[in-house]
Structure 1
Amino acid sequence: MPGLLAAVDRFNDAHPWDHNAHYHRWLLEQLPARVDRALDVGCGTGDLVRALAGRAAEVVGVDADPRVVDLARAATGRCPGVSFRVADAAEELPEGPFDVVTCVAVLHHLPFAPALERMRDRLAPGGTLLVLGVHEPSQFTDHLLGAAAVPANLAVGWARGRRPRPEAMTARTAPAAMTLPEIAREAGRILPGVRLRRHLFWRHSLLWRAEG
């Protein structure tokens, strides 16, 4: 098994693709068609921010890495209603309210409960909070989906061919520390009625709508 995993890692290095960006379309499908204000927490190079700009009058992207924020601004150019800020989501977020708050593969880098509470508190009445996250595998279903993801991951990488590693994939990464049951328990306490869903490619989502 270690030899197989090492071979998969070598293949991924030669055929890199962004597992988080793979879910951007699905994320957008969960959101209202038109909103006034949207916030993307941990925006990276701004791919999701630019996608949100198609349905929001104002989109703010925040990231703790000044270099990445500069890249996001350069890639976006002068896009009406779009702005980027350097901010550590563990300590601060722009003032709300926002109709949509998104957070993709960032929450496991932060103190879970305080960060989730901070994002919740930035929502307008009736607003939507949508998190795409990673978790520590602990259940049979986790391992089953993980095994299914390996050939699917190789197939997508092969179809895309050899290419440079996307800039969005150069940010620092950290392993997930919480299992899905732990995330479900803590998220349910902070966001009553939150919908948790497993996804392929080692991801899960949290979807919650504030009372209107």
Structure 2
Amino acid sequence: MTTLPHRFLHALDRFNAAHPWDHNAHYHRWIMRQLPGGFRTALDVGSGTGDLARLLATRATAVDAVDSDPAIVARARELTSPDAPVTFIAADALTGVPAASYDVITCVAVLHHLPFTDALAHFRRRLTPGGTLVVVGLWRARTPGDHLLGAAALPLNAATGWIRNKGRTAPPPASMTAPVRPATMSFSEIVRETRRVLPGARLRRRLFWRYTLVWRRD
């Protein structure tokens, strides 16, 4: 017999599927608040359909946006004005980006797809002095506090989907069609490795199964 909690979770899954919303885009405005009012160059890693890259382009002279999926890169180009200072690149995030340094590097829901420590070291090398790295990532719940935060997000997640879709059912946004790989690192592991590579980095658990990382290079 299906238990009441299981039935509730299945019903919640069906509700969320009918009222989807982009958890990553939810943090885009927060990302922009971590950045200077204007900067010369930016790199968006795992750019998807280009929503964040286009936001960065409102402040940057030039934005390189890299994603490993050629189809989604083609879609991002279609959605972007030819006048926008954004170059979309279908390439590996760590080996396929033009040899350059950047004033800003952003990375949203991608770091758990990459070798974590190597990726952070790569981003550190690519930042200009005074440059800013901003990451929104996924962590794996392991502690009671982790599970409590995840449980608190469940009703908020459903309410947000209902409000954003104005109570109507909707297909998932284009930015949500990419395959999702579950996170393997706990938040404490992420903090430990990050502080080893990026001393002084600021990390926080966030709602909706995300964490944030901000680091500024001296």
Where on the TM-score scale, by shorter chain, does this alignment land: which range? over 0.9
User: Superposed, which structure 2 residues align to 1:131-146 within 5 Å?
Assistant: 131-146=135-150
Aligned match for 2:190, one of 173, 183, 195:
183
Aligned match for 1:173, one of 173, 180, 183:
180
Which structure: larger Rg? 2
**Alpha-carbon RMSD:** 1.1
- Provide the aligned length of Structure 1 versus Structure 2: 211
Q: Deviations over 1:55-106 (max 9, x none)?
A: 1111110000000000000000303321100111244433221000000000
- The one-letter code matched in structure 2 to 1:4 is F
Q: Normalised by the size of structure 1, how large is the TM-score? A: 0.96
Q: Normalised by the size of structure 2, how large is the TM-score? A: 0.94
Q: What's 1:6 paired with?
A: 10
Q: Secondary structure at the match of 1:43?
A: coil
Distance 1:35 1:66 in 2: 28
Unaligned runs of 5+ in 1: none
Q: Is the 8 A contact 2:130 2:216 kept in 1?
A: yes
Q: Is the 8 A contact 1:96 1:124 kept in 2?
A: no
Q: What's 2:131 paired with?
A: 127
Distance 1:152 1:44 in 2: 25
Aligned match for 1:113, one of 103, 117, 122:
117
Runs of 4 or more consecutive aligned structure 1 residues displaced over 4 Å after TM superposition: none
Distance 2:99 2:6 in 1: 47
- The one-letter code matched in structure 2 to 1:164 is P
- The one-letter code matched in structure 1 to 2:207 is L
Percent identity over the alignment is: 56
Unaligned runs of 5+ in 2: none
Q: Secondary structure at the match of 1:177?
A: coil
